[in-house]
Chains A and B, each alone.
Chain A
Amino acid sequence: MREEWQLVAIYTVIIAALVAEVIVGSSWMTLGQTALIGVLVIAKLQAALVFTFFMFGKYGTRSVALIMLISVSTLLPLFLAFAFSIEFPPHAVAGGR
């Protein structure tokens, strides 16, 4: 039963994190950018717990975790390139919204 209870405990933690996330997210008027960062950090923590326990990442080899990490890392340059492309003139179709 140990494993079952462990899963229930992890589930409880994720739900608690969800409550915290909603509270932080709902306080965006007062927290501003901090709310945005806080919400994304909580989402990442929740995802890490899901990967480790619900996806049984802990039973996989380190290679699985490493390739998952590389998969996520390959996206980093894309986000950075987008970030450095934002303030430049938009390329919309004439008349399009």
Chain B
Amino acid sequence: MAHANNKPNPLVVWLFTTNHKNVGILYLVTSLYFLVVAGILALTFRMQLSAPNMVFLAADSYNQAVTLHGLFMLLWVTTPLAAAFANYVVPIQIGAKDMAFPRLNALSYWLYLASGIVALSSFFAPGGTADWGWTTYAPLNTLQYSPQAGGSLMGLAILLLLSSTIVATSNFMVTIFRLRAPGMKLSYLPLFSIFWLVTQFLLLWAFPAFAAPLLMLVSDRVLGTVFFTAAEGGALLWDHLLWFFGHPEVYILVLPGLAIAGDVLAVFSRRQLYAKKVIIIAVSVAAFLSYVVWVHHMFMTGIHPGLREVFNITTELISIPFGAIMLSYILTLFGGRIRATTPFLFALGSVILFIIGGASGVFNSSVALDVGMRGTFWVVGHFHYTIVGGGITGLIAGLYYWWPKMTGRMFSEKLGKLHFAIYMIGFNLLYFPMHLLYDMPRRIFFYDATTGWGPINMLITMGSWIFASSFIILFINLINSLRHGPKVGDDPWGGANYSLEWNVPSPPPEFNFPKGVPVITAQGLEFRQPWEIKMGITTTGGQQLYGTTALPTNGGSHVAEHGEEHGPHLSPWPFILSIGVALTMIGLVFGVPLLLQGVVIFIASIVGWAWEDVKEKFHVAIEALGEKWPFDRVENVPLGMWFFLFGEVALFGPLFAAYFFVRANSAYTGFAWPLPGQIHSTVMGAISTIILLTSGLATSLALVAIKNNNQRGLKAGLLTAFILGLAVLFIEGFQWAELFAEGYTFGTDIAASIYYLITGIHGAHILAGLLIIIYLLAKAYKGGYNAEKHMGVYAFAIYWGFVVGVWLFTFPLFYLI
């Protein structure tokens, strides 16, 4: 944090922190809070289903409880809980001092919290919150069936959460690829860091892809577009786009927990993982396959039979890599000297439950069986075994495993084991009998005694209470350990030769490695000083091998490590910006005053952030001293931009796919798609294209200029790009105004809807680019760039090139063909 003689208030520290460990703890506390909220919602609707003819919740309240439970568990609990551990331990495991972009890391958290608050506030909207089920199927998600404003607010909350995730993903990618310690190859990393990297790739392409249908949904509900009410789009459009995100999402939820299970099994078996390379290959194959299995969620939608066969096969194929991973885990245990501690028990439980869930899933991959089981409680049982059993149980193993590292205190093993016993009893009582309800529809809130479902439902509800009570033991144990738990050393589990976090104090100091930069050599782990690494000195006194020799000390302070003090590790802007965004979102539904306040705070925070940057008030030296493969030649900032743009491809791609679908469908529905030139002026479109291309050239020339230390060239190029970008926005606005005046509005027809959405999102990207140019110009006028230091300009050139590239497809689709 700040310097010893100027220690800030603890509240300020927690609100303004950018330190990865603090951010991790914030994620942990928040995700556990949301877990409790989602759990309470589950208990209420389980009560409603506990017996025939039950009157505990009204139909709409039941639907709202189920919807929020599902959405919260998937989006606000499981992945953020994994992100808590990832924030805390991944930088340490790779040998870094912090994340590549600490302020963006804080921003990810605050946007996540803001999105959760917006989602919960939807309960208080007139008519309540979303009630369409977590899958948000069309047409249930349309205003006709769900007119309440809370539904729109929920859509906005999810969009906000997605933006938080995209920011975090780019940050983690750059951190893991570029900030590894010297000698730390990717394959040397513990399974959690490797699986987290794979998860980031899944997030990178899945979450922006989900943003596309959500933007359509929100614009349908708020602006009156017709994506999900028109015959050309409708339910099938939503289904494809939702599940294109939804199936990779399953692995996003499961992989971190499974990775923790693998690491914990290895550490507590006192063995290295069996066939680690096979596990890495298997998880990579599974990640790839996860993008070609989604249609198995749609076997009953009336799609082409050939399509069902293909996805039947790909779904069965994906069980092979997971089988290999499970076998490797089991073989790790053979011959190991096992210590059955609480983390180990939860890890083992996670593997067993995941195998049961996987086995029941094989049934669903078959089209024939799926026809019978679709939409029944069998499916509910199956996915809870995989996601809660495999994913969340593994994350609880991680909570126990890293708790002593995070707090410096040990929890009660006795209470931990009691928690495990009750957790497993409750879990299996809750979810296993669901398989017996293979004839009970999952989307009903009421049934009568003649169905015969009553006794099993009662058993399930009892299981839910037992399962929930196990978490009370967890919280008591952890809270108690904070005050009364015995203090632990660096390595309470004997994992020092497995991963780096067990070679630093518990809890770790601000920049993690007080004894120097960790270096992985043929002999094991050493700590060296940065100047030694920069000068290529290959050995120092006091080397130690993994966990065999006492570590040397050199004073341990950050000054000793780096030879200089850095600015504070605090920034208010991520926190303030998230307040602005949250108020804006809520204001979109609750009224203009809130909206205006939100916009003002948002703009002020952007200006404040940029000013902090221009004045270089925030500076945390995150040097890339070690392994950077395969991105040795791309600096952190441009690489972060590249990853962001890979995600943008996954946003615009589904939008263009939707265009293709609705346009092709129009031939069958009888809708006459406008002829070229009939609605949009080709000449105006071509002029916009030429101007945008010219602005792209100007940006590129600005970059070339600053590479040659030509300050005037830089400023001239950026200014030209700004003026041209503004001109394109003006032309677009003019065209919109003209079309509106002619009565061609958002909801005129499906062609109008897709035109306004794609050009609108593209326009928002131009606007964002113009704001970045203002920042770059301000910094350029302050002399912030030169031949050696111009990565911000480089990153912007990449961004602006992408904006130009997207338009190169937008122009012909709407103006030419």
Residues of A in contact with B (beta carbons under 8 Å apart): 3-4, 7-8, 11, 14-15, 18, 21-22, 25-26, 28, 35-36, 39-40, 42-43, 46-47, 50-51, 53-56, 59-64, 67-68, 71-72, 74-75, 77-79, 81-93, 95-97
Contacts and interface: CB of A to CB of B under 8 A. Distances in A.
Nearest to B232: A90
A72 B233 CA distance: 23
Contacts of A51: 801, 805
Given A7-B697, A86-B664, A39 B816 contact: yes
Interface in B270-320: 291-292, 294-295, 301-304, 306-307
Contacts of A22: 682, 686, 816
Given A77-B291, A79-B660, A88-B303, A56 B139 contact: no
A97 B801 CA distance: 37
A18 B661 CA distance: 26
Given A54-B700, A82-B657, A93-B144, 13 more contacts: A39-B817, A50-B804, A51-B801, A55-B797, A56-B801, A61-B633, A63-B631, A74-B291, A78-B209, A86-B661, A88-B303, A91-B301, A96-B226
Contacts of B801: 50-51, 54-56
A26 B630 CA distance: 45
A47 B230 contact: no
Contacts of B205: 71, 74
A61 B809 CA distance: 25
A47 B232 CA distance: 29
Contact of A97 (B654, B704, B749, B817): B749
A92 B229 contact: yes
B653 interface: yes
Interface stretch (B332-340, B544-552, B568-576, B687-695): B687-695
A92 B649 contact: no
Given A72-B653, A97-B229, A85 B661 contact: yes
B697 A11 contact: yes
Contact of B809 (A14, A47, A60, A88): A47
B649 A43 contact: no
A37 to B, nearest CB: 10
A15 B307 contact: no
Contacts of B291: 74, 77
A85 B812 contact: no
Contacts of B539: none
11 contacts: A36-B817, A43-B812, A47-B805, A62-B630, A63-B631, A72-B653, A84-B304, A85-B236, A85-B303, A86-B664, A95-B144
Given A39-B812, A47-B809, A97-B231, A72 B144 contact: no
Given A15-B690, A47-B808, A60-B633, A91 B235 contact: yes
Interface string B238-253: 0010001000000000
Contact of A25 (B139, B306, B749, B812): B812
Contacts of A88: 236, 302-304
Interface string B132-156: 0000001100101100000000000
A55 B802 contact: yes
Contacts of B657: 75, 78-79, 82
Contacts of B690: 15, 18
B294 to A, nearest CB: 8
Contact of B816 (A26, A81, A87, A91): A26
A68 B703 CA distance: 22
B699 interface: yes
Interface residues of B, number: 81
A35 B226 contact: no
B632 interface: yes
Given A61-B634, A84-B307, A50 B240 contact: no
Contact of B660 (A53, A68, A82): A82
A75 B676 contact: no
Contacts of B798: 55-56
Nearest to A6: B704
A75 B653 contact: yes
A35 B817 CA distance: 8
A53 B693 CA distance: 12
Of B295, B639, B693, the most chain A CB neighbours within 10 A belong to B693
A87 B668 CA distance: 7
B794 interface: yes
Contacts of A26: 676, 682, 816
Nearest to B642: A64
A50 B700 CA distance: 10
A60 B634 contact: yes
B696 interface: yes
A32 to B, nearest CB: 11
A55 B795 CA distance: 9
Nearest to B654: A78
Nearest to A52: B801
A60 B693 CA distance: 21
B665 interface: yes
Contacts of B608: none
A74 B292 CA distance: 9
Nearest to A54: B801
B797 A97 contact: no
Contacts of A78: 209, 240, 244, 653-654, 657
A4 B703 CA distance: 10
Contacts of A92: 139, 229-231, 233-234
B180 to A, nearest CB: 15
Contacts of A55: 797-798, 801-802, 805
B228 interface: yes
Given A18-B689, A21-B812, A50-B801, A71 B649 contact: yes
Given A84-B304, A97-B749, A90 B234 contact: yes
B631 A28 contact: no
Contacts of B686: 18, 22
Contacts of A85: 236, 240, 303-304, 307, 661
B521 interface: no
